[in-house]
């Protein structure tokens, strides 16, 4: 099995959901970002979702927009993102998913970009603004180079599209639990169990739930019905709040990530 399948098989055996941690690659600089990624992995992340910094991240709220801007300001490029993955791979075999936008893939050459990602150690790719109906070139490249695909289901996704999305994905399905962009929310959307059940009628792949999940209790609530729980902004906020203490930032992030990871146990 590939690393994604292995991770979800492990969490199923342990009768729990997977904890999927999101960080933006290069936020706030390369070395601190590497230490941050290692910190959340050490804290119990089953999957690392690595945001590829982009100047126009239309699916992201302010927290993740600012993270991408910090990364770009620090000089992050596609080549440096791949290098970051290689450095993470020196010490960890945790699955790494690229959270990216199609222009970043297209502008570098789809096949070349996917091949470079795979060679660096990336396991799967979620291209936020690329629906499966338009993803043929990316799917072909991912199949050729052994990279898994992740596609999104939203609360507004018509029932008629679920089979198409389920057939296109090869890694897992990402259910966006709320309309709008990423960000911390006070409450989890009420219909998550029903939505996950509806998606499972059309796929045997794991279903991970994200957007707006930011506390251990919210993680625990979603983990009751989902195969994976994605937390992003709550972790990125730790980076923002500790920009003046970059040496101590990984330790603080490890504490917060461990508290969140405990919610899936």
Q: What is the pLDDT of residue 56?
A: 86
pLDDT at 186 over 80: no
Q: What percent of the chain shows pLDDT beyond 70?
A: 95
Q: Of the listed 60, 73, 194, 241, which one is catalytic?
A: 60
Q: What is the pLDDT of residue 178?
A: 66
Q: Of the listed 29, 42, 46, 49, which one is catalytic?
A: 49
Give the closest residue to 6 by CA, choosing from 138, 124, 128.
124
Q: What is the pLDDT of residue 144?
A: 98
Reported as a pLDDT band with limits 50, 70 and 90, residue 183 is: very low
Q: What is the pLDDT of residue 49?
A: 98
Q: Which helix (H) or strand (E) holds 99?
A: strand 96-100
123 is an active site residue: no
Q: What is the pLDDT of residue 244?
A: 96
Contact status, residue 71 vs residue 34, Cβ threshold 8 Å: no
Instruction: Compute the average pLDDT of residues 141-167.
Output: 96
β-pairing verdict for 47-51 and 148-153: unpaired
pLDDT at 223 over 90: yes
Beta-carbon count within 10 A of 236 CB: 28
| Model confidence pLDDT, tens digit, residues 48-99 | 999 999 998 887 878 889 999 999 999 999 999 999 999 999 999 999 999 9
Instruction: Compute the average pLDDT of residues 188-206.
Output: 91
Q: Which domains does the chain have, with CATH numbers?
A: 3-264 (3.20.20.70)
60 is an active site residue: yes
Q: What is the pLDDT of residue 124?
A: 98
Least confident of 77-81, 176-180, 226-230, 241-245: 176-180
């Amino acid at each position: 099995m590939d690393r994604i399948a292995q991770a979800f098989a492990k969490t199923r055996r342990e009768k729990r959901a997977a904890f999927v941690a999101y960080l933006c690659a290069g936020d706030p600089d390369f070395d601190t970002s590497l230490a941050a990624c290692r910190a959340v992995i050490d804290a119990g992340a089953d999957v690392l979702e690595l945001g590829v910094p982009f100047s126009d991240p239309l699916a992201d709220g302010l927290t993740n927009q600012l993270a991408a801007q910090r990364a770009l300001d620090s000089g992050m490029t596609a080549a440096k993102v791949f290098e970051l993955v290689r450095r993470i791979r020196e010490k960890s075999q945790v699955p790494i998913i690229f959270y990216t936008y199609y222009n970043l893939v297209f502008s570098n050459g789809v096949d070349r970009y996917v091949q470079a990602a795979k060679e660096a150690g990336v396991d799967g790719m979620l291209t936020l603004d690329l629906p499966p109906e338009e993803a043929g070139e990316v799917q072909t490249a991912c199949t050729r180079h052994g990279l898994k695909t992740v596609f999104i289901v939203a609360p507004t996704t018509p029932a008629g599209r679920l089979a198409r999305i389920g057939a296109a994905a090869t890694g897992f399905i990402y259910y966006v639990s709320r309309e709008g962009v990423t960000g911390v929310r006070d409450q989890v959307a009420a219909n998550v169990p029903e939505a996950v059940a509806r998606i499972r009628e059309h796929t045997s792949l794991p279903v991970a739930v994200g957007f707006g999940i930011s506390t251990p209790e919210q993680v625990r609530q979603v983990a009751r019905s989902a195969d994976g729980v994605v937390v992003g902004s709550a972790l990125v906020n730790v980076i923002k709040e500790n920009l003046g203490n970059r040496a101590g930032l990984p330790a603080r992030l490890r504490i917060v990530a461990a508290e969140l990871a405990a919610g899936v146990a």
